């Protein structure tokens, strides 16, 4: 079971592809007993991305994991 604190502490591995990091974030949130709303999950996952990737996402409206995944494909 994943806690909110563990999710917030999970960082993107710079050697892994962007899409893999998104999938990992999604899998981690699925393990949570008391999941936040998807928009809040997205905020946490995006915050944990590498700074260069995060900078590219600043202008993108991301509210679902699908929108984040589609952006990285």
- Both tokens of 26, joined, read 């999604």
How far CA 37 is from CA of 24, 32, 65, in Å, comes to 17, 12, 12
Task: Quote the pTM value.
Answer: 0.64
What's the Rg (C-alpha) of the chain?
Answer: 11
What would the 3-class secondary structure string for 9-36 be?
Answer: HCCCCCCCCHHHHHHHHHHHHHCECCCC
- What's the pLDDT tens digit per position in 30-49? 898 888 888 888 788 878 88
User: Which helix (H) or strand (E) covers residue 41, if one does?
Assistant: helix 38-47
Region 53-71: what's the mean pLDDT? 69
């Amino acid at each position: 079971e994943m806690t909110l604190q563990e999710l917030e502490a999970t960082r993107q591995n710079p050697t892994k592809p962007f899409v893999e990091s998104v999938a990992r974030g999604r899998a981690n949130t699925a393990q949570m007993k008391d999941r936040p709303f998807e928009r809040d999950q997205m905020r946490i996952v995006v915050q944990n991305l590498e700074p260069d990737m995060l900078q590219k996402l600043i202008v993108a409206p991301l509210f679902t994991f699908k929108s984040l995944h589609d952006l990285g494909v």
